[in-house]
Amino acid sequence: MTKQRAARLDLRQRAGGRLLRMINPLARRMIAAGIPTGAPNVLLTVRGRRSGKPRTVPVGMIDFDGRMFVQASYGESGWVQNLRVAGEATVTEHHRDLQVIPVELPPDEAAAILRRILAPYRRSRVLRALLGPRFRPPIGILSRYRIRIDDTPEEYLAEARRHPLFELRRVTSAPSG
């Protein structure tokens, strides 16, 4: 990340990004070994856009209405850019690999889905006050702990613009014949 880009990030985002960079190696090992991490995490492997080498990162995944979603909780990170370019990825969960095709949802559609995912849960004004108006935990964490901090459709839309949401569609095998 360049200094110019880092300057645009909120202090909470910078601190969160640094913390994740420290925790991700441990989380990768835990997820690969099948050890629970306390969140709905999976390993996402995607080909690097410049190196062409497989890059694996732990991400929070949401299963909702029979669909799989991952959100770029810390914005335009490397895996997001790689996913856009590669157009395919592998999700590893419980020692099982699943080939997927990512579809980045437009912000208005992503906002509607985020709102539907969190609608049944209680709103936490305390968490919102602690985090500020522009920072929010990953959708997977909020869903797991049944908390929402967004309230209006505009807030969900702003969140979807800052943090892209991808639907991961399973690759089905072509019939042999």
List of domains in the chain:
3-170 (2.30.110.10)
DSSP state of 88: -
The HSE-up count of residue 164 (CA atoms within 13 Å, CB side) is 17
Structure tokens at 77: 């990170």
Give the global pTM: 0.79
Structure tokens at 162: 């800052």
Tally of CB atoms within 10 A around 25: 10
- What integer pLDDT is reported at residue 13 of this predicted model? 65
Lowest-confidence segment of 1-10, 14-23, 76-85 by average pLDDT: 1-10
Q: Average pLDDT, stretch 83-102?
A: 92
- What integer pLDDT is reported at residue 74 of this predicted model? 75
Q: Average pLDDT, stretch 152-159?
A: 90
Strands 89-93 and 54-64: unpaired
pLDDT above 90 for 136: no
Mean pLDDT for the chain? 83
